[in-house]
Structure 1
Amino acid sequence: MTRTRHLDKAPITEAIIDFRAQLPDTFRVQEFEPLQDVLVEAYPITEKQKLYEGGFRLSGEQLSQTTQDKGVHGFIFKNEEQGRVAQFRRNGFTFNKLKPYTDWKDVFAEAWRLWLEYAAIAKPLTVTRVAVRYVNRITVPRTFAFPEYFTDPPTLPDDLPQTFSDYFKRVVINDAERGLLVNVIQAIERQQDSDTVVFLLDIDAYAQEEHEPGSSELEPRFQQLRVLKNQVFFGCITDKTAEMFE
């Protein structure tokens, strides 16, 4: 396994901190609307998040598609210049940090600050799922050999042509000892530039368990998810890849 360490130029395109929550039946998402004034300096753009429900209807021999507007599901607050997005929804809170990425301390502190705003307004009954998801985009020369850069490369039987134009792999790892799960997606992103290949490494570490919203165990659980996320990332790349981003 490649040594875990800080990478100054980490290939992170998006970091996500997610809280799923169960809210009281009496809660209405419009109660988040005053946050426009509270967060306006840090998040000048506000959007309503609407929920639509689709289906199909069969009438005689004719099949038609139906769409039902379920109304406002939440509010999204954005700072496009800093690549920050905060989603206050009926089923939970999500903080997205897009490029430029800073570091875990900065990202989690902001997510936690906004989560406290969410909890103060929504007064969740319980937190049902917590997650840390990082999407990495690693560009390598098209002439590369997979094992040079990745520890779990795609392979083909020896008697088949050894070139391919697309690749997608998903595995779910169960860390039973810590009660954590992690979805790991590896894929190749199609590129117009024939000289490079973009390899996507999408790591979603999560715990499906109930916590009191004010539980002292909640913040440390995110730290455990971060550790697991890092173990997966450095376990999937070689030292040569890590050195590209130091």
Structure 2
Amino acid sequence: MEFQFNIEAQHADFSTKPTIRLSSEDQADIAVIQQQTLTWSRLAPYLGWDSFIERVRSDAEEVHKIVGPFRLDRIGVRYINRIDVPLNKDGGAPYGEYLAINIDIPESIQSVKNYAWRFEYQVPDSDLLAILQSAIVSPEVPNTGAFILDVDVVASQNIPLRIDEIFIKLEEMRRAKNRFFEMSIRDEARRMFDK
């Protein structure tokens, strides 16, 4: 549902966008189809990039067979990483020990109960935009704190038309996403991901 408000005219328009949501039997693989958007997602348990991209390639080739060649305005590779950490003695989650990108908080503030940050970075010598975000989220594991590290790499210009070239572009975007992820975490978090 889309809402558009005009306060001066005291008028609101409501419209719906047709959305088709398809999912696997276990609800872990999801495809959302809208008028100008195709989104593929994978929830836990994660099977790795090769499995995921093969599914996307197969689906994209089927769409291409049905609708013919199409121009994309935007493509993205996004990973939302959830990091569960033990609470410190004050009952806070010491996110600064896990993330290399932090909000500079004065030493007199020992522990924060909530935070959120976001930045966008135009990758030099590239048409890629990196969007990084982090925030505290509700813990799901007892006696832990949790936060997310959301790494999104987007291309909205110079997008190839041919499907094989799109997947070459997606691989380039995945490598950029991996670089930003590695730059964003500290060894303490890296050890958790290596388990």
So what's the TM-score if we normalise by structure 2? 0.84
How far apart are 1:217 and its partner, in Å? 2.4
> How far apart in 2 are the matches of 1:59 and 1:154?
39
**Counterpart position of 1:122:** 67
How far apart are 1:157 and its partner, in Å? 2.0
Out of 178, 188, 192, which is 1:240 matched to? 188
**Counterpart position of 2:42:** 97
**Counterpart position of 1:77:** 22
**Counterpart position of 2:14:** 68
**Counterpart position of 1:15:** none
What is the correspondence of 1:1-246 to structure 2 with a 5 Å cutoff? 52-56=1-5, 66=12, 68-70=14-16, 73-81=18-26, 83-143=28-88, 145-158=94-107, 160-191=108-139, 195-246=143-194
Q: When you count strand as a share of all residues, which structure comes out higher?
A: 1
CA contact (8 A) 1:125 1:212 kept: no
CA contact (8 A) 1:119 1:213 kept: no
CA contact (8 A) 1:88 1:118 kept: no
CA contact (8 A) 1:130 1:207 kept: yes
Distance 1:208 1:136, change over 3 A: same
Unaligned stretches of 5+ residues in structure 2: none
Aligned length: 190
So what's the TM-score if we normalise by structure 1? 0.68
Task: Summarize deviations over 1:162-221 as a string: whole Å, max 9, x none.
Answer: 221110000111112122111100111134877211010011101112445325421111
Q: Which has the higher contact order (CA 8 A, sep 6+)?
A: 1
Q: Which amino acid aligns with 2:116?
A: F
> How far apart in 2 are the matches of 1:244 and 1:58?
49
**Counterpart position of 1:4:** none
- Mean CA deviation greater in 95-104 or 160-169: 160-169
Task: Summarize deviations over 1:62-119 as a string: whole Å, max 9, x none.
Answer: x57x45344x523221114150011222103111111111100000110111111122
Unaligned stretches of 5+ residues in structure 1: 1-51
Task: Summarize deviations over 1:133-186 as a string: whole Å, max 9, x none.
Answer: 00000001111644432212333123x432211100001111121221111001
CA contact (8 A) 2:64 2:70 kept: no
CA contact (8 A) 2:86 2:145 kept: yes
Distance 1:191 1:245, change over 3 A: closer
> How far apart in 2 are the matches of 1:200 and 1:244?
14
How far apart are 1:224 and its partner, in Å? 0.8
